[in-house]
Amino acid sequence: MQSGGLDGLNGLLDMAEGLAARQVASEQDLILELNGIYRALFTIDFAGFDIAAVRRDAPRLADELFLLGLALRRRIPEWHAQGCMTRAAQVALRDVFRAARYAHELLGEIALGHPRRAPDEPVRAAFSGPASYTDLNPDFASTGVTFEPGDVILQRGMAHNSAAIARIGDVDSQFSHVAMVARDPGGELVVVEAVIEDGSVVVPLQQALEHGIGRAILFRHRNRALAEAAADLIRNDVLRADGTIAPRMLYDFSMELPVYDQLFCAKLVRLAYAMASDGRFVIPTYPTLLAMRNRDFISRIGVTAMETFAPADMELETDFDIVAEWRDYRVSSELRLKDMIMTKLFEWMEVQGYRFRPTFGIHLASRLGWLSARMPASIQRVATRFTGARVPPNMTTSAIGAVAMLHATGEKLYARLKELEDKSIRDTGRQLHPRQVLQHLEAMRGGMGRKIGYLVEGD
């Protein structure tokens, strides 16, 4: 190991733990400290790490990174009371959470020898698998990972559109969906969630946990009576809305918060707790902004909100404890590459003026997808080859085309990045750091000229 390798990470953790333990003098003091931790995490030279040393120390370092996140989270109410949790501080804190999570994954992948899920290998249920996949909050050590009514599961799917949802706001995140745990009359645990394809649904807990999840965090509200009431109320509301007793709750593409006739995933959780508290507990405390200049993509998919409840806003909701965090190390590298792709695609749209330009084929696929939503399931399955997901009945042709173009553009870039990462692992035993991935993507843009998949510059 080069001098300063793991020692540098140890020193960084000491600095971050110091912030989590001491008083901050001002909002600016907090922001400077958080930005310094983020930059250090994001720029630390992983190439200087000796592989044997990483494999030896990774479990301890991963534990410390997880505990650091818990410690910083516990300070949020105090910082809020001091007036320090401004927009800039929120962004800085979430940057630290994101960089620490990537560092955690990088270390874990090296320690486990870069596992990969084979194409024919089944998905792993969230919070299952080897012990190293799950970090448990010490406060819940006596019970382990259990599920209770009112729990909220923050998660990340595998698709490019999941990466886009995670990246769509003013702060990059690593999560694309939230769902709520409830209990049915027979005592079985279920999940209540709003999904694009089906709108608001109630499904068995195990089925939800096996639905192609790569990362997940389990949150539990401290007021158990409130949590159980929220779970019961939202479960009953969704079951009533089956199209006979009440209109079916379709997915809300607008991402607007005030009206509840249609729901997206986080708004379902918001509604549940608002109903249970008679409007006294309404989340998010710190919403996501959608104030980008270039709204071409989000307008195409139907987003009209300027401020919303994004799934990852749960990370700042301190009325909820984190019970455990889980990641599937077989797919964490894939998720990270797709995260970086969406970071760059949105940056290119916002800064460089790129826009999606649909072709005749996209227009045709969009129309067929729209028609397929009104046809039998067998025909709907054909449309997924173009869109990457089944088409809901209230999805516009513009949105279908945008998702199809995003999926195709992302796949082209992902294939190239995967080749580069596989080569790095073969040659050095190390995967690509997110910083390197962003550099490769910029190099690809330079080599592709004005057209990147379906994205066209200045069109």
- Predicted confidence at residue 410, as pLDDT, reads 95
pLDDT above 60 for 383: no
CA gap 398, 167 in Å, rounded: 20
Range 143-164 average pLDDT: 94
Res. 55 pLDDT band, cuts 50 70 90: confident
Which range has the worst mean pLDDT, 57-61, 335-339, 342-346, 384-388?
A: 384-388
Mean pLDDT in residue range 372-399: 69
Residues 114/55, Cβ–Cβ less than 8 Å: no
Residues 159-173, mean pLDDT to the nearest whole number: 87
Q: Are 277 and 378 in contact (CB under 8 A)?
A: no
The residue with greater pLDDT, 198 or 285, is: 285
- pLDDT at residue 1 is higher than 50: no
CATH class as words, domain 131-327: alpha beta
- For the sheet containing 320-327, what is the strand order? 134-136, 320-327, 213-221, 152-157, 177-183, 189-195, 199-204
> Would you place residue 21 in the very low, low, confident or very high pLDDT band (cuts 50, 70, 90)?
confident
The whole-number pLDDT of residue 42 equals 84
Whether residue 251 has pLDDT greater than 80: yes
pLDDT tens digit sequence for 445-457: 999 988 999 999 8
Of the spans 40-49, 123-132, 218-227, 290-299, which averages the highest pLDDT?
218-227
220/179 Cα distance (integer angstroms):
12
Higher per-residue confidence, 276 vs 459: 276
pLDDT the model gives residue 3: 36
**When comparing pLDDT for 387 and 368, which is higher?**
368
What average pLDDT does this structure show over 308-312?
Answer: 96
Q: How confident is the model at residue 4 (pLDDT cuts 50, 70, 90)?
A: very low
The two most distant CA atoms of the chain are separated, in Å, by 68
pTM, to two decimals: 0.93
The share of the chain scoring above pLDDT 90, in percent, equals 67
Among 40-49, 52-61, 72-81, 319-328, which is the least confidently predicted range?
A: 40-49
**Domain range annotation of the chain:** 5-111, 131-327, 332-457
**In this predicted model, what pLDDT tens digit does every residue of 106-135 receive, in sequence order?**
999 999 999 999 888 888 999 999 999 999
Look over the chain and give the mean of its residue pLDDT values, rounded to a whole number. Answer: 90
* Predicted local confidence at residue 2, as pLDDT: 38
6 or 421, higher pLDDT: 421
Reported confidence tier of residue 386, pLDDT bands at 50, 70, 90: low
Q: List 11's β-bridge partners, or say none.
A: none
Percent of the chain at pLDDT > 70 equals 93
Confidence of residue 19 (pLDDT cuts 50, 70, 90): confident
